[in-house]
């Protein structure tokens, strides 16, 4: 069989500390794959600089000058992991038969890429890398992630458990992905929707090799919340149901308190009054907030802004693609 062209896409944001090692290791792996005749000699590594403020681009550019296997895509500013990844995938798609996405920090076991490719040759269009355990994560991160998966599952979103964005996609799969034009693209939820034949490879996730996480708690929570509200309106429905329940409850208590007032000897308490004010007020605020969240999403989508803009410095690419999706 003809060897297929593979591109490894690596989104990088302020990764100067780890990048030199990443470049060497990925290059080594690619050499092995080429020597084993698993992938074509035209295979490449595409580094996407997501508007880094440190020497990340400098490192990528210098490597590109002396390494024919390296391509560099520079985005005009920081657009976030998901969009940087998309920029890389859509650019790589034109140049390759299959694309592997991997983080720059060497947390994912790069040796697994070989298994990805083998499964691709078996006829899978998408191969998901799934972490065996989460030992390297803190208890907090583990439990919040678990909660997130549970919520998503309850809402009927088809997520692959413990899979981050370490996966192989065929050219055909990426082409279909491009047709999902929403601005708030939550890749882990969208990719399974493509629906092609897929498989899973298990691996051990390691500690970040160097540098710091670009996903502090605040960003992580925002990411999870975006994921949830991008996929379902059931949170709003849930609030509606709570609202209805508390409405009927307050009717019931209203009648109860009135009965007490006329036939009993109690003074209607201040406590119950103030409690119900707070309760209903709170519910209303929650509901308004949630609605606002969705309205905000509609607002964002309606603008149809480009997800990223490619900088002129990019090199080793056929033509920069300016996305106006
Ligand atoms: N990243 C990016 N843009 C950003 C934030 C992160 O391209 O705005 C990249 C980052 O360089 C890394 C990957 O996305 O290659 C995952 O980020 P990180 O490892 O910090 O996340 P974590 O593994 O801690 O969830
Ligand atoms: Mg990481």
* pLDDT digit string, tens, across residues 88-98: 999 999 989 99
Minimal-distance CA residue to ligand 1 atom 8: 80
**Does the pLDDT value for residue 325 go beyond 60?**
no
Q: What average pLDDT does the structure give for the chain?
A: 88
Cα–Cα distance measured from residue 279 to residue 52, given in angstroms and rounded to the nearest whole number: 46
Question: Which residue, 138, 124, 187, is CA-closest to 160?
Answer: 187
**Does the pLDDT value for residue 324 go beyond 50?**
no
**Does the pLDDT value for residue 7 go beyond 70?**
yes
What is the H or E stretch that residue 57 is in? helix 56-66
Find the 257 Cα to ligand 1 centroid distance in Å. 57
Beta-sheet strand order (sheet of 98-101): 70-74, 44-49, 6-12, 98-101, 167-170, 126-131, 198-203
List C-alpha distances in Å: 253 to 207, 272, 274.
55, 9, 14
Please indicate whether residue 147 or residue 282 has the higher confidence score (pLDDT).
147
pLDDT at 318: 63
Please indicate whether residue 9 or residue 223 has the higher confidence score (pLDDT).
9
**Does the pLDDT value for residue 320 go beyond 60?**
no
Nearest atom within ligand 1 for CA of residue 208: 19
Q: Which of 13-17, 22-26, 125-129, 227-231 has the lowest mean pLDDT?
A: 227-231
Nearest atom within ligand 1 for CA of residue 213: 20
pLDDT at 275: 73
Q: What is the ipTM of this complex?
A: 0.96
**Does the pLDDT value for residue 247 go beyond 50?**
yes
Nearest atom within ligand 1 for CA of residue 212: 20
- For residues 252-262, average pLDDT: 77
Find the 187 Cα to ligand 1 centroid distance in Å. 14
Q: Which of 66-80, 118-132, 217-231, 253-267 has the lowest mean pLDDT?
A: 253-267
pLDDT at 265: 66
pLDDT at 59: 96
Q: Pick the most confident of 110-124, 145-159, 196-210, 227-241.
A: 110-124
Q: Where does residue 304 fall: left (phi above 0), alpha (psi -120 to 50 degrees), or beta otherwise?
A: left
The ligand minimizing its distance to the Cα of 138 is 1
**Does the pLDDT value for residue 38 go beyond 90?**
yes
* Cβ-Cβ contacts under 8 Å for 280 (sequence gap 6 or more): 246, 250
Q: What percent of the chain has pLDDT over 70?
A: 95
Ligand 1 site, residue 176, Cβ cutoff 6 A: no
Cα–Cα distance measured from residue 188 to residue 205, given in angstroms and rounded to the nearest whole number: 17
Ligand 1 site, residue 15, Cβ cutoff 6 A: yes
Please indicate whether residue 238 or residue 29 has the higher confidence score (pLDDT).
29
Q: Where does residue 269 fall: left (phi above 0), alpha (psi -120 to 50 degrees), or beta otherwise?
A: beta
- For residues 30-35, average pLDDT: 97
Residue to mutate (ligand 1; options 214, 219, 221; most atoms within 8 A of CB): 214
Quote helix, strand, coil % in the chain, to nearest 5.
50, 15, 35
Nearest atom within ligand 1 for CA of residue 48: 7
95 contacts 5 by C-beta, under 8 angstroms: yes
Find the 123 Cα to ligand 1 centroid distance in Å. 30
Cα–Cα distance measured from residue 230 to residue 209, given in angstroms and rounded to the nearest whole number: 32
Confidence tier at 292 by pLDDT (50, 70, 90)? confident
pLDDT at 1: 67
Ligand 1 site, residue 12, Cβ cutoff 6 A: yes
**Does the pLDDT value for residue 31 go beyond 50?**
yes
Nearest atom within ligand 1 for CA of residue 84: 7
């Amino acid at each position: 069989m003809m060897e297929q062209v593979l591109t490894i896409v690596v989104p990088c944001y302020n990764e100067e500390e780890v990048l030199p090692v990443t470049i060497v290791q990925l290059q080594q792996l690619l050499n092995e794959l080429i020597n084993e005749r698993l992938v074509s000699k035209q295979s490449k590594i595409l580094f996407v600089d997501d508007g880094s403020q440190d020497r990340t681009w400098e490192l990528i550019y210098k490597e590109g000058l002396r390494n024919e296997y390296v391509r560099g895509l520079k985005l005009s500013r920081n657009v976030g992991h998901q969009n940087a990844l998309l920029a890389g995938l859509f650019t790589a798609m034109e140049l390759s038969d299959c694309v592997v996405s991997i983080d720059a920090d060497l947390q994912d076991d790069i040796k697994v890429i070989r298994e990805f490719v083998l499964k691709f040759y078996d006829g899978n269009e998408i191969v998901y890398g799934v972490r065996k355990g989460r030992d390297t994560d803190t208890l907090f991160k583990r439990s919040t992630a678990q909660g997130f998966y549970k919520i998503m599952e309850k809402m009927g979103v088809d997520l692959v458990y413990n899979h981050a964005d370490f996966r192989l996609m065929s050219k055909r799969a990426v082409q279909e992905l491009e047709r999902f034009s929403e601005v708030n693209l939550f890749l882990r939820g969208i990719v399974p929707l493509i629906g092609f034949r897929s498989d899973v490879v298990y691996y051990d996730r390691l500690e970040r090799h160097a540098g710091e996480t670009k996903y502090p708690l605040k960003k992580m929570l925002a990411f999870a919340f975006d994921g949830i509200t991008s996929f379902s309106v059931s949170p709003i429905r849930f609030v509606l149901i709570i609202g209805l329940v508390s409405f009927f409850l307050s009717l019931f208590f209203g009648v109860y308190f009135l009965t007490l007032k006329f036939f009993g000897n109690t003074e209607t308490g201040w406590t119950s009054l103030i409690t119900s004010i707070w309760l209903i007020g709170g519910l209303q605020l929650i509901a308004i907030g949630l609605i606002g969240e969705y309205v905000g999403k509609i607002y964002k989508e309606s603008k149809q802004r480009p997800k990223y803009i490619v900088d002129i410095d990019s090199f080793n690419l056929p033509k920069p693609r300016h996305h106006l999706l």
